[in-house]
Amino acid sequence: MTKKVVKDDTKDVLKQIITAMQDKKAKGIISLDLSKIHDSISEYFVICHAQSTTQVDAIYDNVVDMVRKNCGIAPFHREGYENSEWILIDYFDIVVHIFREDIRNFYKLEQLWADAVLKGYECEK
């Protein structure tokens, strides 16, 4: 009997999350490296937005599916799936935020972590 190797490397999970977002045409994809911030709740925040709740749902589903399939882990916790305006996915070391665009513009979450190292990602064609 072969045991499935579970990969829980944070960088690999981060890569899978970004790729899953790009696959569903997420906009404004960024990661915030919080690892050097003493009181941060995780190592990374990953943030993106979409034009509609349907697209927010699609991005969420793809992130969860790709991380489970390629890294062997499921989210520890999720919030916001019911209304799909702002979905949070907690992978312990990485917290994912998928916003509807107007909700992201209202909360401006990335501005709350000005000390973090911000990295932007383009949507692949």
| CATH code at position 82 | 3.30.460.10
Please name which of 125, 106, 114, 100 lies closest in space to residue 28, comparing C-alpha atoms. 100
Any domain includes 3: no
Report the Cα 119 to chain-centroid distance in Å: 13
> What pLDDT band is residue 103 in, cutting at 50, 70 and 90?
very high
When pLDDT is cut at 50, 70 and 90, the band that residue 124 belongs to is low
Query: Is 116 inside a domain boundary?
Result: yes
Please check whether residue 1 lies inside any domain of the structure: no
What total number of domains does the chain contain?
Answer: 1
| Contact between 46 and 30 (Cβ < 8 Å) | yes
pTM of the full structure: 0.89
Q: 89: domain range?
A: 10-121
Residue 1 has pLDDT above 80, yes or no: no
Give me the mean pLDDT over the 67-82 stretch: 96
Tell me whether residue 14 is in a domain: yes
Q: How many CB atoms lie within 10 A of CB 109?
A: 16
Q: What is the mean pLDDT of residues 57-76?
A: 97
What is the per-residue pLDDT across 26-50, written as a single tens digit (0 to 9) for each? 999 999 999 888 888 899 999 999 9
Q: What does each C-alpha distance from 50 to 38, 58, 78, 86, 88 come to in angstroms?
A: 31, 10, 18, 10, 14
- Could you tell me if 88 and 79 are in contact, meaning their C-beta atoms sit under 8 angstroms apart? yes
* Structural domain contains residue 70: yes
The answer to the question of residue 4 being in a domain is no
Q: Which of 52, 64, 61 is nearest to 27 (CA)?
A: 52
How confident is the model over 70-96, as a mean pLDDT?
96
Question: Is residue 32 domain-resident?
Answer: yes
Residue 67 to residue 89: CA distance in whole angstroms: 11
CA distances from 85 to 23, 49, 122 (A): 19, 9, 22
Within a domain: residue 2?
no
Grade residue 59 by pLDDT with cuts at 50, 70 and 90.
Answer: very high
